[in-house]
Amino acid sequence: MTGKKLSIVIPVYNEVDVLPELLAQLERLATSLAERFQLTVGFVFVDDGSTDDSFAVLDSHDFGQRPVRLLQFSRNFGKEAALSAGIDAAQSADAAVLMDADLQHPPEMISEFVRIWLSEGVDSVYAYKVSRRNSEGYLKAFASRLFFWVINRNIRYHIPPDAGDFRLVNHRFMKALRSLPESDRFMKGLYGWVGFRQTGLPLEPPMREHGQSSFSAFRLFSMTMDAITSFTTTPLRLMAMAGIFIAMFSAAYGLFVIIETLFFTGVANGIASVLTLIAFFGGMQMIFLGLLGEYIGKSVQEAKKRPPYILAEDITREGDGVADR
Ligand code: UDP
Ligand code: MG
């Protein structure tokens, strides 16, 4: 043994259908990782307030000699919070692998992550999706493209498009993530924000075999708004620029109308154009105010300094197969 410790962190939300298969695959993976790289491999499961039996299944599973930590949230806090909890729980590990429970993140790739981490000394190895068609609709793919375009406009760090949460993070990378105090945690952004040396590997995501993605279109929209407003103030600047542009245009048009009335007989025409303009600018103002409100709302949320999650259960099994609470 090189004595290095690797934690595999898995957020679990109503995944009772996939758990048996997941646990079997994880055990095979952990055994092969331990042999190939001389690592101690442990698991951290974070049950994000599942309403099914996911936690009971995990709790009653026989993990044998493997070090396992089982966390249960007091309610559903979201995947980002679950990942944060997993990273907090992996304090003593030299590296952690973050993967989904739904087997859309192929465990085989993890040995590649580990190989690169150990041999090339990078701080994080992540998978990026090469084709989104497989698992997601065109709309979702387009929304995600647009989102990354906006977010990568104006920042000193890069958030790779198509990079998911499937990644390995080493000790100091995790320490950096833990040091970020915000309670609203958009992890894909935070990985980019902390910096360090990162390498991406291509991944063709397989279809979800059981259950459904728990992210609806509405949820994706609000997550997108959240992510944008917590990582860039570019939209505020765009608002100001649009304002300046419209003001200049109106001034020029006003001048044109004055000249027209004074020197030509033309009279400013119909009410339709006026109504259209009022409606148009009314709409613009509501969009701008809404956007501004997003930023203010975000400040209010963060000002409360609430923790990102609350634990209901925290069970540690140190390899003897006996639970101690
Ligand atoms: N998940 C979670 N909390 C949630 C929603 C999802 O912990 O509120 C977990 C879920 O159990 C899975 C991972 O996050 O392990 C990804 O979820 P999903 O497959 O629904 O998302 P997608 O693959 O569409 O991104
Ligand atoms: Mg999934």
Q: What is the value of ipTM here, to two decimals?
A: 0.93
Partners of residue 71 on adjacent β-strands: 46, 314
Percentage of the chain modeled with pLDDT above 90: 25
The H or E element containing residue 30 is helix 19-37
Whether the pLDDT of residue 232 is over 80: the answer is no
Instruction: Tell whether 157 and 10 lie within a shared domain.
Output: yes
Percentage of the chain modeled with pLDDT above 70: 89
Q: Residues 160-202: pLDDT tens digits? A: 877 778 999 999 999 999 998 888 888 888 888 898 988 888 8
Does residue 23 lie within any of the structural domains? yes
Distance of CA 296 from the midpoint of ligand 1 (Å):
28
DSSP state of 239: H
What the block records as the tokens of 250 is: 């109106």
Does residue 165 lie within any of the structural domains? yes
Mean pLDDT of the chain: 83
Averaged pLDDT for residues 85-91: 92
- Ligand 1 atom 23: the closest Cα is on which residue? 213
Instruction: Tell whether 120 and 261 lie within a shared domain.
Output: no
What pTM does this model have? Answer: 0.76
- Residue 295 is part of which domain span? 234-303
Whether the pLDDT of residue 316 is over 50: the answer is yes
Instruction: Tell whether 203 and 239 lie within a shared domain.
Output: no
Does residue 222 lie within any of the structural domains? no
Which CATH number is 192's domain given?
A: 3.90.550.10
Does residue 221 lie within any of the structural domains? no
Does residue 229 lie within any of the structural domains? no
Does residue 223 lie within any of the structural domains? no
Task: Tell me if 84 sits within 8 A of 185, measured CB to CB.
Answer: yes
- For the CA of 215, the nearest ligand: 1
Distance of CA 40 from the midpoint of ligand 1 (Å):
26
* More reliable by pLDDT, 283 or 50: 50
Does residue 228 lie within any of the structural domains? no
Q: Looking at ligand 1, which atom is closest to the CA of residue 76?
A: 8
Q: Which residues contact 11 (CB under 8 A, 6 or more apart)?
A: 46, 48, 79, 82, 83, 86, 100, 101
Counting ligand 1 atoms within 8 A of each CB, the residue from 10, 84, 102, 218 with the most, and so the one to mutate, is 102
Whether the pLDDT of residue 273 is over 80: the answer is no
Averaged pLDDT for residues 221-239: 79
Averaged pLDDT for residues 278-292: 83
* Number of domains making up the chain: 2
Instruction: Tell whether 22 and 110 lie within a shared domain.
Output: yes
Instruction: Tell whether 77 and 159 lie within a shared domain.
Output: yes
* More reliable by pLDDT, 226 or 190: 190
Whether the pLDDT of residue 134 is over 60: the answer is no
Q: What is the DSSP string of 152-196?
A: TSS-SS---TTEEEEEEEEHHHHHHHHT---SS--HHHHHHHH-S
> How far apart are the C-alpha atoms of 100 and 275, rounded to whole Å?
52
Which residues, chain by chain, have CB under 5 Å from ion ligand 2? Answer: 102, 104
Q: Which residues contact 66 (CB under 8 A, 6 or more apart)?
A: 27, 30, 41, 42, 43, 317, 319
Nearest to 188 by CA among 126, 250, 268: 126
Whether the pLDDT of residue 154 is over 70: the answer is no
Q: Where are the beta strands (DSSP E) in 187-285?
A: 198-203
Instruction: Tell whether 63 and 154 lie within a shared domain.
Output: yes
- Please report which confidence band the pLDDT of residue 155 belongs to, taking 50, 70 and 90 as the band edges: low
> How far apart are the C-alpha atoms of 44 and 87, rounded to whole Å?
9
Task: Tell me if 90 sits within 8 A of 165, measured CB to CB.
Answer: no
Does residue 220 lie within any of the structural domains? no
Whether the pLDDT of residue 320 is over 70: the answer is no
- For the CA of 212, the nearest ligand: 1
Distance of CA 212 from the midpoint of ligand 2 (Å):
8
The pLDDT of residue 167: 93
Distance of CA 57 from the midpoint of ligand 1 (Å):
18
- Ligand 1 atom 18: the closest Cα is on which residue? 213
Distance of CA 274 from the midpoint of ligand 1 (Å):
49
Averaged pLDDT for residues 105-119: 88
Q: Residues 206-217: pLDDT tens digits? A: 665 565 666 677
Instruction: Tell whether 176 and 271 lie within a shared domain.
Output: no
- Please report which confidence band the pLDDT of residue 258 belongs to, taking 50, 70 and 90 as the band edges: confident
Counting ligand 1 atoms within 8 A of each CB, the residue from 100, 103, 186 with the most, and so the one to mutate, is 100
Instruction: Tell whether 115 and 15 lie within a shared domain.
Output: yes
The pLDDT of residue 325: 39
Whether the pLDDT of residue 322 is over 50: the answer is no
Instruction: Tell whether 145 and 240 lie within a shared domain.
Output: no
* More reliable by pLDDT, 38 or 267: 38
Residue 73: helix, strand or coil by DSSP?
Answer: strand
Instruction: Tell whether 68 and 165 lie within a shared domain.
Output: yes
The pLDDT of residue 313: 87
- For the CA of 72, the nearest ligand: 1
Instruction: Tell whether 113 and 253 lie within a shared domain.
Output: no
Distance of CA 204 from the midpoint of ligand 2 (Å):
13
Distance of CA 242 from the midpoint of ligand 2 (Å):
38
> How far apart are the C-alpha atoms of 138 and 142, rounded to whole Å?
6
Residues with CB under 6 A from ligand 1: 11-13, 15, 48, 76, 78-79, 82, 100-102, 104, 208, 213-215
The pLDDT of residue 61: 87
Instruction: Tell whether 263 and 277 lie within a shared domain.
Output: yes
- Ligand 1 atom 16: the closest Cα is on which residue? 100
Distance of CA 213 from the midpoint of ligand 1 (Å):
7
Q: What is the DSSP string of 8-19?
A: EEEEESS-TTTH
- Ligand 1 atom 21: the closest Cα is on which residue? 213
